[in-house]
Amino acid sequence: MTAINDTTATTSAEPTVGAPVELSKTPVIEISDVWKLHKLGDEVVKALISVDLTVLPGEFVCLMGPSGSGKSTLLNMIGGLDRPTKGSIIVAGRDTGKLTESQFAALRHETVGFIFQSYNLIPFLSAVENVELPLMFEPYDRKSLRKRALELLDLVGLSHRVDHQPTKMSGGEQQRTAIARSLISNPTLVLADEPTANLDHRTGETVVRMLRDLCSTLGVTVVASTHDPTVADEASRVVRMKDGQIIN
């Protein structure tokens, strides 16, 4: 198994981690006239204002803007961690506004992987156990799950760290572990919230290139919120936000 920045294709009877995929032309995300309003006393705060956005399979889209621009709010809406006040969000062909909380949770579990700026790794678990965690309590064959987790760690260049706990890894290694974890359920979409915020510039560049290669090698769609120009440089498309609106 080669690391993710090696785009050499591997073919077999069954798809393997890193194998190229044929991309559909159906949008992974369709957002139409989405608003998010918060009421603070007598004041209404407009976190999102009439946002429209379409994201196609295999795109690496960067939501870029200053703090308070609405990029993290929009990311949370796409991932179902919050609901819009008004408007439509379709993820992987499902109109999320028509889903119950349990149905949306199932959609997230099957379709969406998350990467957080603080990594969100469990400190007493090893790297491979952290990668397995989203499926740890699902009815999967344990040997198959461990094999996939090891493949994913190899994919992100961490085959030498599989038994290390997060406290024994650098920030970049922890974020690469988080990337591997985001892929364990074979998602269509990965959402990354400020993925380089806690990393130095060089390590951040490495992590962003890995996110880019997820798109080109695995066909995963990546949407990242950031104010880091390094992320924008590697993205296939930059969506700029200001005061809750898309401005480009």
How confident is the model over 94-111, as a mean pLDDT?
A: 91
pLDDT band per the 50, 70, 90 thresholds, residue 8 = very low
d(CA 120, CA 213) in angstroms, rounded, equals: 22
Average pLDDT over every residue of 98-111? 90
* Residue 228 predicted with pLDDT over 80: yes
Which pLDDT does position 12 carry in this prediction?
31
What pTM was computed for the model? 0.86
Summarised one tens digit per residue, pLDDT across range 182-214 is 999 999 999 999 999 889 998 999 999 989 988
Amino acid at 246: I
**Interatomic CA distance for residues 92 and 221, integer angstroms:** 11
What b/e string do you get for 131-169 counting C-beta neighbours within 10 Å, with b at 16 or more? bbbbbeeeeeeeeebbebbbbbbbbbbbeebbebbbeeb
Number of neighbouring beta carbons within 10 Å of residue 207: 24
Helix (H, G, I), strand (E, B) or coil at 114: strand
10 or 60, greater pLDDT: 60
Q: Is 62 helix (H, G, I), strand (E, B) or coil?
A: strand
Taking each helix axis from N to C terminus, what angle separates 201-213 and 171-182, rounded to the nearest 10 degrees?
20
Contact, 214 vs 23, CB < 8 A?
A: no
